Amino acid sequence: MLELLKRFYASFGLPRLIILGFFIILNIMAIVLEVNFPELVSASMVRIAMNGVLVLAILPSIACGTGPNFGVSLGILCGLVGGLIAMELRLDGYTNFFMAIVFSMPFAVAVGLGYGWLMNKVKGSEMMFALFIGWSAVSLMKIFWLVAPFDNPEMAWPIGSGVRVTISLVNRELAQLLNQTWSFSVAGITFPTGLILFFLFCCFLVWLFMRSKTGIAMLAAGDNPRFAEAAGINVDRQRIYGTIISTMLGAVGILVYAQSFGFFQLYEGPHFMPMIAVAAILIGGASIKKASIANVIIGVILFQGILVVAMPVFNIFTQDMASMAEISRVIIQNGIILYALTQVVSGRD
């Protein structure tokens, strides 16, 4: 029994135990302090499901061996471009949402192809390179947003060219679209059914893919590239596939996120999103080299759950709860990434 516990501890790692403990303590305190629990659960579910697809986008990149995709902001940017095109065409509701996904896909595939090709050139420094190519792209796109030729007044500046910093989705019946689909309330808890189903559907698709011939080849390429070469698998090509899928999911992820949030955030928004998503999958038990759908779901529940529950609990201890929540996010998020990095080297055999 003790042996089993030890083994569990070794594979789970101290930081994850701390995070799990923190989550449990927060929940107990929330109950003890009699904060509005149903509201908290409802808010958690929304936050978990709206971030879920972005976290899912990290999975294929880990699976194919390029490591957690710190450059998923490239996919996010593609998603935003698709979203803006749908806005420009003044589409409404579901049409807008799904056409935005359709519009963003060609961009995501093209960008993912180029990005994956580059990732093969920088083997060994993928994470660092991904971070900076993501950040460069975000700042380059800021210039694009400034000159973008859109003229729907909902998003364009009234004078000159370019699009606004935040674009409201309310007028296009897009805000909360999925959240409200088949939504229902039980005991004061509101279930964002459509949003949750959409996230789970995406997970299901990725699960199916990982069980296909290509998916198996990708797993092999990511697990052991030299094995894969010997088994006749084109490792570089699998890495490109993984990067493309990750980019595509990133595009879908931001559209899901934005509809729940109610706004497109163009300029600063995508900057730190990749790190939040990467942190979530790592919290869920993934490593730099291996990840599963379960890691995605557990991770996003724990991480986003903490962020939601922490708010009202902190409110009791400090006047400045917003900053306290932000502080705990930053510490958890970067702490878990640092932990994962130390595991790469010491865990190698």
- In the complex, the residues that contact another protein under the rule CB under 8 A are 118, 121-125, 127-129, 131-133, 135-136, 139-140, 142-143, 146-147, 160, 208, 211-214, 216-217, 219-220, 223-224, 226-227, 229-233, 275, 289-290, 318-320, 323-324, 326-328, 330-331, 333-335, 337-338, 341-342, 344-346, 349
Smallest gap from residue 258 Cβ to another protein (A): 22
| Residue with smaller CB distance to another protein, 27 or 287 | 287
| Residue with smaller CB distance to another protein, 55 or 138 | 138
Half-sphere exposure of 229 (CA within 13 A, CB side): 4
| Residue with smaller CB distance to another protein, 153 or 232 | 232
Name the DSSP class of 291. -
Smallest gap from residue 171 Cβ to another protein (A): 26
| Residue with smaller CB distance to another protein, 185 or 334 | 334
Q: Are 215 and 209 in contact (CB under 8 A)?
A: yes
| Residue with smaller CB distance to another protein, 97 or 314 | 314
> Amino acid identity, residue 114?
G
Helix locations, 262-292, DSSP H: 273-283
Q: Are 215 and 15 in contact (CB under 8 A)?
A: no
**Could you please report the per-residue DSSP string of 125-163?**
-HHHHHHHHHHHHHHHHHHHHHH-----TTTB-SSSSSB
Smallest gap from residue 53 Cβ to another protein (A): 21
Q: For residues 227 and 62, what is the distance between their CA atoms, to the nearest angstrom?
A: 17
Q: For residues 42 and 199, what is the distance between their CA atoms, to the nearest angstrom?
A: 16
Name the DSSP class of 65. T
> Which residues make Cβ contacts (< 8 Å) with residue 27, sequence separation at least 6?
309
| Residue with smaller CB distance to another protein, 68 or 83 | 68
